[in-house]
Amino acid sequence: MASNYPHEDADKLAYEKSEETYKEWDKYWKAVQLDKTESIMTVTQGTPIDWEAGTARGTGDVHNKSADSDKDRRWVFAMRHGERVDHTYGNWVPHCFDDNNTYTRKDLNLPLRLGERVGGKDSYAKDTPLTRVGQLQARLVGEGLRLAGIPIKHVYASCALRCVETAHYFLEGLQADNTVKVKVDPGLFEYKMWHLIKGMAPFMTPLELHKAGYNVDLSYKPYVEIDTVSPESLEDFYKRNEKTMHAAVDDTESEGGNIIFVGHAATLDLMAVALQRLREDNTDQKPYQISKHLLRVPYCALGAMKGKPWEIVAPPCPPSINSSSGRFDWKILLDL
Amino acid sequence: MASNYPHEDADKLAYEKSEETYKEWDKYWKAVQLDKTESIMTVTQGTPIDWEAGTARGTGDVHNKSADSDKDRRWVFAMRHGERVDHTYGNWVPHCFDDNNTYTRKDLNLPLRLGERVGGKDSYAKDTPLTRVGQLQARLVGEGLRLAGIPIKHVYASCALRCVETAHYFLEGLQADNTVKVKVDPGLFEYKMWHLIKGMAPFMTPLELHKAGYNVDLSYKPYVEIDTVSPESLEDFYKRNEKTMHAAVDDTESEGGNIIFVGHAATLDLMAVALQRLREDNTDQKPYQISKHLLRVPYCALGAMKGKPWEIVAPPCPPSINSSSGRFDWKILLDL
């Protein structure tokens, strides 16, 4: 009976089919567990273990203890943003803002508050924030890398609000030290031509983002600047993403440390091609392409590469799924 | 294009149709806002306001300041549990436990750890925990009541683990003072006959729940005890729920304070009938019935009543929806 709930769609999510994916991830988990003689099942009994504090906080020491011979290779990750308010609620802005631009959340999964920005509610309509579930999805990935003992030193985010927020909550979950901040780079924004028809909002400035509480690097100078009015070709789009990714990898090489690019569905594909183009043994360069996998990249999907030479590898934390849940109409209780 | 993502099902969630629901909720939100001269939009600018600390923490003073003439009437709430692990992942236990009962999460939305319990993994297979999203859904309802200035003094939960956890995380969101604990009462468990075919797990004892970190009242003596082997009739089921709800309302009347029953989809209907039967002006008692609305009660749905005389009212916080998100297969990146 219970499986008939219309909002519980386990069968579509194909859990059983993805067991294979876990095998490679398992080795990272097992490396972390080397430090832990007790299973999670026994953690809550007797002497409590601070499970989370027991793992590396940005130091990578747990990871270094693993038998992984690749331990000196840098990680580069690409992640899509989390659950969007606009795709969850449809036309939400007229319901949630009054004429004075005052925001009231009309659903518990909407953000509690929104930062001040140029364009007010119109800008929010065109540049959506994350839902509360979206914030959680991002936090879970950060926590996942922390528990796998993988620190992140360099965080680059697309200038779309949903991406900056995803990077912010990812860092919360990672519990990175507070020198790690989000570098907002318009070079990572998705293809402009998808947005120019209905018009693009002015992106929130780093100062607006900072005032709204996001952990952004106010001193960061983007590799690429884009405007919200002029068109771009697909080639322009590929080039600005490649420029940003190549520059980020090159400019952090001497300092070292792992990197994450927080962007859009296309960001995972773009990273895969861009970094493979950095291989010296790469004689036939793969072409960039759009939309091959877009619909198979869910919220907060994580792609991972290691260098050098750069290659696509299994992410060191498991993926994340969740089911949908509908709106309850309390008035059905009157009809008993 | 973006609206074609298969996991973003905004159109099914009928946002626009439920605007009416908000009207009654709005008055609670406005009452809370009386204490706040600035809109949320301006909160992050200039002088920061601690928005959450500004509301009543269990004292009800914000609510009392509203123009609500019913302010002395008690609230009783009924809430369904949050997102279930089993309905989200299907047959999860063989994937997540080894032969030593050691639990490993294979997805970021699975709980980080599980408490020790009689029956180990077999018990978890029959008595599911919440997902991380389920924990968030419960926390959001607690936060919603806190922001509406509605304190809760008495929390009763069904003995199903998912309900105890929902009550626990609800209390986290409510930020109730630590004298408020979850009273686990088997009287609120759902209809036993749905479970006897595949067998029921031994419920976690209050001591097991306490050791696993849940905020349960170890001194509470349940109104009803049930076993996991003997059958019950529908009439038995109605009676034990009614007995628990009537006793909870009566026994807390002199002390006062609002009540929540955390249970199952049927718990909302059961509360509505049980409390209306307490009305002295109630000459024709409504019959209990099962499954009339079950499929219309999503995760963490909240029903609300006020007394006396007991009547169904609009909940003082908005409902909650979220979309589903599928599992990312990183190997698609190899196929570029």
Span B18-43, pLDDT tens digits: 444 445 445 544 544 443 333 322 22
Tell me: pLDDT of A171 over 70.
yes
* From B77-81, B198-202, B249-253, the region with the lowest mean pLDDT: B198-202
Residue B264 appears among annotated catalytic residues: yes
Instruction: Give the model confidence (pLDDT) of B37-82 as tens digits.
Output: 333 222 222 222 233 333 322 222 333 334 445 678 999 999 999 9
| Cβ <8 Å between B318 and A107 | yes
| Cβ <8 Å between A21 and B330 | yes
Rg of chain B over Cα atoms, rounded to whole angstroms, equals: 21
d(CA A30, CA B19): 50
- Answer whether B85 touches A (CB < 8 Å): no
pLDDT tier at A266, thresholds 50, 70, 90: very high
A22 or B9, higher pLDDT: A22
| Helix (DSSP H) and strand (DSSP E) numbers for chain B | 11, 6
- With residues binned 3-state (H G I as helix, E B as strand, rest as coil), the percentages for chain A, rounded to 5, are 40, 10, 50
Alpha-helical (H) ranges within chain B are: 19-33, 40-43, 61-64, 85-89, 93-96, 120-126, 132-147, 161-174, 206-211, 234-251, 265-276
Kindly give, in sequence order, each residue whose CB lies less than 8 Å from that of residue A57, ignoring residues fewer than 6 positions away. A146, A151, A175, A176, A177
| Cβ <8 Å between A116 and B44 | yes
Nearest to residue B241, comparing CAs of B222, B256, B255?
B222
Residues 311-330 (A) with a CB less than 8 A from some CB of B: 312, 314-315, 317-330
Question: How far is A23 from chain B, CA to nearest CA, in Å?
Answer: 10
* From A208-217, B267-276, B286-295, the region with the lowest mean pLDDT: B286-295
DSSP SS3 for B109: coil
Nearest to residue A135, comparing CAs of A154, A110, A117?
A110
Q: Out of B4, B89, B211, name the one closest to residue A44 (CB).
A: B211
Nearest to residue B63, comparing CAs of B317, B259, B323?
B317
B110 or A39, higher pLDDT: B110
The Cα-based distances of A296 to A24, A89, B328, B336 in angstroms read 20, 21, 7, 13
The pLDDT score that the predictor gives to residue A100 is 87
- Answer whether B105 touches A (CB < 8 Å): yes
d(CA B236, CA B225): 12
Tell me: pLDDT of A137 over 80.
yes
SS (H, E, C) B204-244: CCHHHHHHCCCCECCCCCCCCCCCCCCCCCHHHHHHHHHHH
Measured between beta carbons, the chain B residues lying within 8 angstroms of A300 are: 325
pLDDT tier at A291, thresholds 50, 70, 90: low
Number of Cα atoms under 13 Å in the Cβ half of residue A193: 9
Q: Out of A92, A101, A322, name the one closest to residue B324 (CB).
A: A322
| Cβ <8 Å between B319 and A334 | no
- In sign, the C-alpha dihedral spanning B307, B310, B314, B319 is positive
* From A40-49, A193-202, B161-170, the region with the lowest mean pLDDT: A40-49
> Mean pLDDT over residues A276-285, rounded?
83
Tell me: pLDDT of A91 over 60.
yes
The pLDDT score that the predictor gives to residue A237 is 96
pTM of the model: 0.84
B256: left (phi over 0), alpha (psi -120 to 50) or beta: left
A7 or A199, higher pLDDT: A199
Question: How far is B272 from chain A, CA to nearest CA, in Å?
Answer: 7
| Size of the A and B interface in Cβ pairs below 8 Å | 321
Kindly give, in sequence order, each residue whose CB lies less than 8 Å from that of residue B227, ignoring residues fewer than 6 positions away. none
- Answer whether A254 touches B (CB < 8 Å): no
Beta pairing, strands B154-157 & B74-80: unpaired
d(CA A266, CA A172): 24
d(CA A263, CA A79): 6
Residues 110-169 (A) with a CB less than 8 A from some CB of B: 112-116, 120, 131-133, 136-137, 140-141, 143-144
Kindly give, in sequence order, each residue whose CB lies less than 8 Å from that of residue B204, ignoring residues fewer than 6 positions away. B115, B117, B118, B123, B127, B159, B161, B164, B212
Measured between beta carbons, the chain B residues lying within 8 angstroms of A334 are: 312
Instruction: Give the model confidence (pLDDT) of A149-165 as tens digits.
Output: 999 999 999 999 999 99
The pLDDT score that the predictor gives to residue B61 is 30
The pLDDT score that the predictor gives to residue A80 is 97
The pLDDT score that the predictor gives to residue B313 is 94
Return the bridge partners of A266, or none.
none
Tell me: pLDDT of A48 over 90.
no
Residue B81 appears among annotated catalytic residues: yes
Residue of A nearest to B293 (CA): A332
d(CA A101, CA B43): 12
Alpha-helical (H) ranges within A148-216 are: 161-174, 206-211
A12: left (phi over 0), alpha (psi -120 to 50) or beta: alpha
Q: Out of A143, A299, A336, name the one closest to residue B272 (CB).
A: A336
| Cβ <8 Å between A289 and B21 | no
Q: Show the CA angle centred on residue B173, arms to residues B170 and B176, nearest 5°.
A: 85
Are B311 and B273 contacting, i.e. CB atoms less than 8 angstroms apart? no
Instruction: Give the model confidence (pLDDT) of B317-335 as tens digits.
Output: 999 999 989 888 888 898 8
The pLDDT score that the predictor gives to residue A70 is 67
> Mean pLDDT over residues B173-180, rounded?
94
Residue of B nearest to A331 (CA): B314
Please give the DSSP secondary-structure letter assigned to residue A114. Answer: -
Residues 269-288 (B) with a CB less than 8 A from some CB of A: 269, 272-273, 286
B105 or B109, higher pLDDT: B109
Question: How far is A309 from chain B, CA to nearest CA, in Å?
Answer: 15
d(CA A258, CA A313): 14
The pLDDT score that the predictor gives to residue A23 is 52
Instruction: Give the model confidence (pLDDT) of A109-121 as tens digits.
Output: 999 999 999 999 9
Question: How far is A75 from chain B, CA to nearest CA, in Å?
Answer: 15
Look over chain A and give the mean of its residue pLDDT values, rounded to a whole number.
81
Measured between beta carbons, the chain A residues lying within 8 angstroms of B273 are: 336
* From A209-218, B33-42, B296-305, the region with the lowest mean pLDDT: B33-42
- All domains of chain B in start order, with CATH: 74-84+130-313 (3.40.50.1240)
Beta pairing, strands A311-313 & A302-307: antiparallel
| Cβ <8 Å between B22 and A320 | no
Measured between beta carbons, the chain A residues lying within 8 angstroms of B143 are: 108
d(CA B66, CA B30): 8
Tokens of A269: 């594909």
CA B124 and chain centroid, separation: 20
